[in-house]
C-alpha cells in the first residue's frame, strides 16, 4: 500500500491535518462508526470535559483499530462532530495525540445541535487503510 499526502497549501500545518490522501494498493479499509466518550458499559464519561471526551473518543478509536489489527497511524480520514466548536478549538491540542502516533489524517469539523446523549460534546468518526 502506498499513501501520498496531497497539500496544495501549507496553512493546514498549524492544525495538524492534510487536505488529501491518495491511497493505492490498500488491501483493507476500515470505516469506523463515530466514537464518543463512553466506557465499556456504555456510560458517558468525562461529562462536561471536552479534553477528557476527546481523549476517551481516541481511546475508543484505538480499541476498534486494534481489534482490526490496525493502529492510529492507519487513519486517513477523521470527521469531528461537536456541540461546541469554540470549546473544541480550545482543546484541539488533544487531537495532537493522533499526530504523535504517526496519524496524518484529512479532516472535517462540524458543529451539531447535539449528539446521541445530551452529555456528549464530541464524536470522532474515522476511516483507516492498511
Q: pLDDT tens for residues 91-127?
A: 999 999 999 999 989 999 999 999 999 999 999 999 9
* Maximum alpha-carbon separation in the chain: 44
Distance of CA 28 to CAs 7, 58, 76, 106, 114, Å? 24, 21, 12, 18, 32
Write the CATH number of the domain with boundaries 28-129: 3.30.1330.40
DSSP classification of residue 34? P
More confident residue, 18 or 37: 37
pLDDT at 22 over 90: no
pTM of the model as a whole: 0.88
Which helix H or strand E contains 82, and what residues bound it? strand 75-82
Amino acid at each position: 500500500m502506498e499513501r501520498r499526502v496531497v497539500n496544495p497549501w501549507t496553512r493546514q500545518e498549524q492544525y495538524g491535518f492534510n487536505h488529501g490522501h491518495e491511497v493505492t494498493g490498500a488491501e483493507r479499509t476500515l470505516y469506523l462508526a463515530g466514537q464518543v466518550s463512553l466506557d465499556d458499559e456504555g456510560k458517558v464519561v468525562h461529562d462536561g470535559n471536552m479534553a477528557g471526551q476527546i481523549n476517551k473518543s481516541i481511546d475508543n478509536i484505538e480499541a476498534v483499530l486494534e481489534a482490526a489489527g490496525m493502529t492510529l497511524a492507519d487513519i486517513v480520514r477523521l470527521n469531528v462532530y461537536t456541540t461546541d466548536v469554540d470549546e473544541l478549538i480550545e482543546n484541539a491540542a488533544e487531537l495532537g495525540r493522533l499526530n504523535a502516533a504517526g496519524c496524518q489524517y484529512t479532516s472535517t469539523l462540524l458543529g451539531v445541535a447535539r449528539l446521541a446523549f445530551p452529555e456528549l460534546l464530541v464524536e470522532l468518526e474515522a476511516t483507516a487503510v492498511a
